[in-house]
Amino acid sequence: MRSGIAFAFIVVCLIWFLSACENTDCITFSRNFIVVQFLDSADNKKDTTFSYITASSSNVIFYKDTTLSTYALPINTNRSETTYIFVGINNVMDTLQVGYISGQRLISEDCGFELQLRQIEILYSSFPNVIALQNQLSTLNEIDIEIYP
């Protein structure tokens, strides 16, 4: 009986140790901006110049007089879609409407919460060819949407 109790005590200590091993690290992979990349017909990165880029539900201009191949565009997490407006150097305007589900995840009582954007889809685009590469916005992915202007 004594050996049984000693065994039980060791088991309790082991379980206690294992249960105490939980670390609440604040690692998150979600992000609240979408990364679009412009490509030419040969799938090479294509620098594209815009007078400005904004969104229909925002008063902020995200980029102004910029030439890049890759743009990071903030997402409106309070809505299920964001419509981006790309104005070129000749005042040619293109729009890109992206749909998604904005979810909330509580990481822990110490780390707070994060917003998760998933089920990314192209609702409308005036660009000739647009491809959504990712289902969920994550820092693990570099590019979310490819645009062939």
Query: ∠ CA 34-39-40 to the nearest 5 degrees?
Result: 165
131 sits near another protein (criterion: CB under 8 A): no
Binds another protein by CB under 8 A, chosen from 6, 10, 40, 57: 57
End-to-end Cα separation, the chain, in angstroms: 79
# residues contacting another protein (CB under 8 A): 32
In angstroms, give the least distance from the CB of 39 to another protein.
Answer: 26
By the rule CB under 8 A, 42 interacts with another protein: no
Return d(Cα 27, Cα 107) in angstroms, integer: 9
Residue 2 found at the interface with another protein (CB under 8 A): no
Nearer to another protein, 39 or 55 (CB): 55
Closer residue to another protein in complex, CB, 11/131? 11
Q: Is 3 left (phi over 0), alpha (psi -120 to 50) or beta?
A: alpha
Beta carbon nearer to another protein, 13 or 92: 13
**The tokens of 90 are what?**
């000749």
d(CA 99, CA 79): 9
Phi and psi, residue 79, nearest 5°: -130, 170
| Binding residues vs another protein (CB under 8 A) | 4-5, 8, 11-12, 15-16, 18-19, 55, 57-58, 60, 62, 74, 76-79, 101-109, 112-113, 115-116
